[in-house]
């Protein structure tokens, strides 16, 4: 396994770019690099935001902060989990001896002597920890999830084992949880009208695959538009975003190939990589030293045992990581990819539409050439307010995928209203509908993101991720605070997403806000004051970095103004 | 009344430390409107930090009972035994200090 080797010396090209900045890199500069990386990731001084490593590759400051967990909070978190675990065992014991009724699935009487099914930690966690705070998840909504939404009120009389609906509706809950970055999830407006019209004309689906009778002219037009939008030769659209990843990676890589995957990649990428049957190696999150080490090892040693060279080396990264709010270091990844002749698969599920002055994702954000990325993947679920995914790249690649990808061959083609929604919203983003709505929304999102992140930082919360990422994780840490935060925010009429163990490391529970262009400043202010209030109540303002409010802040003006000249 | 408040603050020193550690003097804005509210807030913090916020009432009472019993036992034990140990230690050390000059004198002679 090479993962352990990562910690060892990695004196590579990545940090040698620093020579541009006038720092002479030593040949065996492992220590120096470690420092360089640490300074990069765990930034202690907020003003120190000009990237030290590879500053030459970035056209704008790349500011990312992952403040370390305060020691006391970490200890208390473990203690909290310890106490809850003890009570979990107590409850399991009571269930085992039939002292209390078991509400959750368990082995039937005749299965008792077989291998236990519900014994592992995940099941224990679901049964005894998640169940207690389950009311903060899966809340049913009954309106369009725009900037505000209506929730179906529900109550539980048996501590979240069952819910019953009261029949009332909680009106106008501020929605801080939807991936509705550009606010295209709306029930009126050009997109909704166009989709409705197409539904009447074409119906909702053709019940056939693209390769058979399901190929409509609108699909082809959409694909041409996507290709134009991305700036690539060709593109292909799929009906399901998850399947775009999990079914296309197996078509691209196979036995004898090596996949280098970021440790925080989405489950769809992980599934795709596993289904492909290639060797998978995982590099540390957004850590270019780690990636280079793996690339170098892969090229030097080749395949295990036979030492033949790898057929292909595919790097899997995401544009914005949805749990950390970090943006991939794309300029460095592309530099590495070119140096080591690997292929790059970029998943822009969250970043397409949400980043860049023209809303064209992370490539646009860094002002790079889209043709440098071999496979551009993205989804329509987020910014476009639709469903499905796309893959863009060279024409040969797309032609190959058209005939070889499982989701092209077997999956039903996209429903025409959805195609229309994507078509209209994409045109809107590109400004081809004759309005500036798209441009305004991109601008608005960037402003909202900067404003929201800055205010939260000033309030003293620990906020993860890149300063320009519209995904804003707010750290909660303690298990009880996950449930309390969700409940208290709902009491103040704000819907938030709280994230706990299986999706994050066990001590790093968090709340995740998604800023949208649909939010007005007033909405954000209401949300922020509620967050601050709850933050005081729950004592989650952990940050020890003092940011002085409204004192020389370079983030006040929008990011894109200078890059648009 | 004042003394009582001080003692509660001491017993929740873990909490106030946490507050300090989190570096938020703003949390003082939650400051005491009246005693009752403050105690309620402290209890809420205690629930959150120990994680028993999410437990059912009967589990909460078990936890509280166990914790209270343990604290009471520690307090009682220290009340009973600490003075004895302190007296013994004092005797021991004073014995040491008292004996020393005598023996040196004995050696000298």
* Candidates A75, A76, A533, partner chain B, best to mutate (most B CBs within 10 A): A76
Contact A560, A446 (CB under 8 A): yes
Domain with CATH 3.90.1150.10 in chain A: 56-175+440-565
Give the pLDDT of chain A (565 residues) as one tens digit per residue: 333 333 333 333 333 333 333 333 333 333 333 333 433 443 444 433 444 456 677 877 888 888 888 999 999 999 999 999 999 999 999 988 888 888 888 888 888 888 888 888 888 999 899 999 999 999 999 999 999 999 999 999 988 999 999 999 999 999 999 999 999 988 888 899 999 999 999 999 888 888 888 899 999 999 999 999 999 999 999 999 999 999 999 999 999 999 999 999 999 999 999 999 999 999 999 999 999 999 999 999 999 999 999 999 999 999 999 999 999 999 999 999 999 999 999 999 999 999 999 999 999 999 999 999 999 999 999 999 999 999 999 999 999 999 999 888 888 899 999 999 999 999 999 999 888 999 999 999 999 999 999 999 999 999 999 999 999 999 999 999 999 999 999 999 999 999 988 888 888 999 999 999 999 999 999 999 999 999 999 999 998 876 655 444 444 443 444 343 3
* A541 and B CB contact within 8 Å: yes
- The dihedrals phi and psi of A417, each to the nearest 5 degrees, come to -60, -35
Tell the CATH topology of A190-430. 3.40.640
Strands A343-347 and A313-318: parallel
User: Exactly one of A37, A148, A266, A382 is catalytic; which is it?
Assistant: A382
How far apart are the C-alpha atoms of B87 and B17, rounded to whole Å? Answer: 33
DSSP string spanning A359-409? S-HHHHHTT--GGGSSEEEEESSSTTSS--EEEEE-HHHHHHHHHH-HHHH
Partner residue opposite A541 with nearest CB, options B22, B44, B53: B22
* A480 and B CB contact within 8 Å: yes
Give yes or no: A519 in active site.
no
CATH number of A56-175+440-565: 3.90.1150.10
Q: Which chain A residues in 330-349 lie under 8 Å from chain B, judged by CB atoms?
A: none
Partner residue opposite B52 with nearest CB, options A83, A133, A542: A83
CB within 8 A of A299, min separation 6: which ones? A309, A310, A313, A340
- The dihedrals phi and psi of A382, each to the nearest 5 degrees, come to -95, -85
- The dihedrals phi and psi of A309, each to the nearest 5 degrees, come to -65, 150
- Reported ipTM: 0.78
Residue with tokens 């296309």: A248
């Amino acid at each position: 396994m090479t993962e352990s080797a990562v910690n060892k010396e990695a004196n590579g090209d990545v940090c040698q770019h620093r020579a541009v900045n006038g720092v002479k890199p030593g040949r065996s500069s492992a220590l120096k690099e470690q420092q360089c990386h640490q300074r990069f990731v765990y930034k202690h001084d907020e003003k120190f935001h000009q990237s030290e490593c590879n500053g030459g590759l970035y056209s704008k400051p790349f500011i990312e902060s992952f403040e370390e967990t305060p020691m006391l909070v970490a200890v208390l978190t473990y203690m909290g989990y310890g106490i809850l675990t003890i009570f979990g065992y107590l409850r399991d014991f009571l269930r085992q001896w039939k002292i209390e009724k078991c509400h959750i699935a368990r082995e039937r009487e005749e299965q008792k002597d077989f291998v236990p099914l519900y014994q592992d930690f995940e099941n224990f966690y679901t049964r005894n920890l998640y169940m207690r705070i389950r009311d903060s998840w899966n809340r049913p909504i009954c309106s369009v999830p725009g900037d505000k939404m209506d929730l179906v009120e529900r109550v539980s009389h048996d501590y979240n084992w069952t819910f019953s609906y009261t029949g009332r509706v909680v009106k106008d809950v501020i929605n801080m949880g939807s991936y509705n970055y550009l606010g295209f999830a709306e029930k009126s407006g050009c997109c909704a009208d166009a989709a409705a019209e197409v539904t009447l004309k074409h119906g909702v689906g053709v019940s056939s695959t693209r390769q058979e009778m399901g190929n409509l002219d609108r699909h082809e037009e959409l694909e041409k538009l996507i290709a134009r939008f991305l700036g690539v030769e060709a593109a292909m659209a799929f009906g399901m975003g998850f399947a775009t990843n999990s079914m296309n990676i197996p078509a691209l890589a196979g036995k004898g190939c090596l996949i280098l995957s970021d440790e925080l990649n989405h489950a769809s990428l992980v599934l795709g990589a596993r289904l492909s049957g290639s060797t998978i190696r995982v590099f540390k999150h957004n850590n270019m030293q780690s990636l280079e080490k793996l690339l170098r090892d892969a090229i030097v040693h080749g395949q295990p045992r036979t030492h033949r060279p790898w057929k292909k080396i595919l790097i899997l990264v995401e544009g914005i990581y949805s749990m950390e709010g970090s943006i991939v270091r794309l300029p460095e990844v592309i530099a590495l990819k070119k140096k080591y002749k690997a292929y790059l698969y970029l998943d822009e599920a969250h970043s397409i539409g949400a980043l860049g002055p023209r809303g064209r994702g992370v490539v646009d954000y860094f002002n790079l050439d889209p043709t440098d990325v071999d496979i551009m993947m993205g989804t329509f679920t987020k910014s476009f307010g639709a469903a499905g995914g796309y893959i863009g790249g060279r024409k040969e690649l797309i032609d190959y995928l058209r005939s070889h990808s499982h989701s092209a061959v077997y999956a039903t083609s996209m429903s025409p209203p959805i195609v229309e929604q994507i078509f209209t919203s994409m045109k809107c983003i590109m400004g081809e509908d004759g309005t500036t709505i798209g441009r305004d929304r991109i601008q608005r999102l960037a402003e909202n993101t900067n404003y929201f992140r800055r205010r939260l930082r000033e309030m003293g919360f620990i906020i993860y991720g890149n300063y320009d990422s519209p995904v804003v994780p707010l750290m909660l840490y303690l298990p009880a605070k996950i449930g309390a935060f969700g409940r208290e925010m709902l009491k103040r009429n704000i819907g938030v997403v709280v994230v706990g163990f299986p999706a994050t490391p066990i001590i790093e529970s968090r709340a995740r806000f998604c800023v949208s262009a649909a939010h007005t400043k007033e909405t954000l202010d209401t949300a922020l004051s509620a967050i601050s209030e709850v933050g005081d109540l729950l004592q989650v303002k952990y940050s020890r970095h003092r940011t002085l409010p409204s004192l020389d802040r370079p983030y006040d003006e929008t990011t894109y103004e200078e890059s648009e000249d | 009344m004042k003394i009582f408040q001080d003692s509660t603050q001491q017993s929740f020193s873990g909490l106030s430390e946490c507050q300090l550690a989190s570096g938020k003097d703003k949390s003082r804005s939650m400051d005491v409107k009246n005693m009752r509210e403050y105690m309620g807030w402290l209890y809420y913090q205690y629930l959150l930090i120990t994680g028993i916020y999410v437990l059912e009432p009967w589990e909460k009472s078990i936890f509280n009972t166990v914790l209270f019993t343990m604290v009471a036992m520690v307090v009682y034990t220290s009340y009973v035994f600490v003075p004895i140990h302190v007296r013994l230690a004092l005797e021991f050390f004073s014995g040491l200090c008292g004996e020393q000059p005598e023996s040196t004198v004995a050696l000298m002679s």
